[in-house]
Amino acid sequence: MRGLVIGLGSADRGDDGAGLEAANALARLVPEDVAVRSLPGREITLLDHWTDAPLVIVIDAVVSGAVPGTVHLVDVSAGRLRLGTPPGSSHAFGLAEVIELGRALGRLPERLIVLGIEAADCRAGAAVSGPVRAGLREAIRMALAEVGGS
């Protein structure tokens, strides 16, 4: 496996499901040597999933104060992730904490990229908002540029 794309989130919490939707779309578009996985609300398992991949791209909803739908590309191989998870998120142990735990344990992939899509509405039962849906398309394009897909 040359690469791995992981979508995170909660499908029943509006914009928090953006990472899962991205993974579903990317599964049909990435090259054969790139795996795609969806991990709904189980960030701590990332440490096991990315073990053998030299390149990992994680897609998740984030909150930084930017305009909803903004896509943040952060290469966390060399530095900390400074984006938070959405309010009301079901993430018990967030992405930033898992990355830093992996760093402390020496269990980060060689290259780890986070594509964070700025969330607007993460209420239970909400649909992915229009701005985040637009950001989702951009995140998919950016992930494909990284892995060489179509």
Kindly write down the DSSP assignment for every residue of the chain, as one continuous string: --EEEEEEE-TTSGGGGHHHHHHHHHTTTS-TTEEEEEEET-GGGHHHHTTT-SEEEEEEEEBSSSPTT-EEEEETTSS----BPPTT---SS-HHHHHHHHHHHT---SEEEEEEEEPS---TTPPPPHHHHHHHHHHHHHHHHHHT--
How far apart are the C-alpha atoms of 17 and 21, rounded to whole Å?
6
Q: Kindly indicate the confidence band of residue 134, based on its pLDDT and cuts at 50, 70 and 90.
A: very high
Q: Which of 4-8, 91-95, 128-132 has the lowest mean pLDDT?
A: 91-95
C-alpha distances out from residue 122 to 9, 13, 19, 51, 58, Å: 10, 5, 13, 30, 19
pLDDT recorded at residue 49: 84
User: Which domains, ranges and CATH numbers included, belong to the chain?
Assistant: 3-147 (3.40.50.1450)
In this predicted model, what pLDDT tens digit does every residue of 109-130 receive, in sequence order? 999 999 999 998 887 878 888 8
Q: Kindly indicate the confidence band of residue 83, based on its pLDDT and cuts at 50, 70 and 90.
A: low
Q: Which of 28-32, 106-110, 138-142 has the lowest mean pLDDT?
A: 106-110
C-alpha distances out from residue 146 to 13, 69, 72, 111, 112, Å: 28, 20, 14, 11, 11
How confident is the model over 83-91, as a mean pLDDT?
52
Q: Which of 8, 53, 59 is nearest to 34 (CA)?
A: 53
With a pLDDT cut of 90, the percent of the chain lying above it is 46
How far apart are the C-alpha atoms of 6 and 15, rounded to whole Å?
16
How confident is the model over 44-58, as a mean pLDDT?
87
pLDDT recorded at residue 26: 97
Q: State the average pLDDT for the chain.
A: 86
Is residue 9 over pLDDT 70?
A: yes
Is residue 89 over pLDDT 60?
A: no
Is residue 5 over pLDDT 90?
A: yes
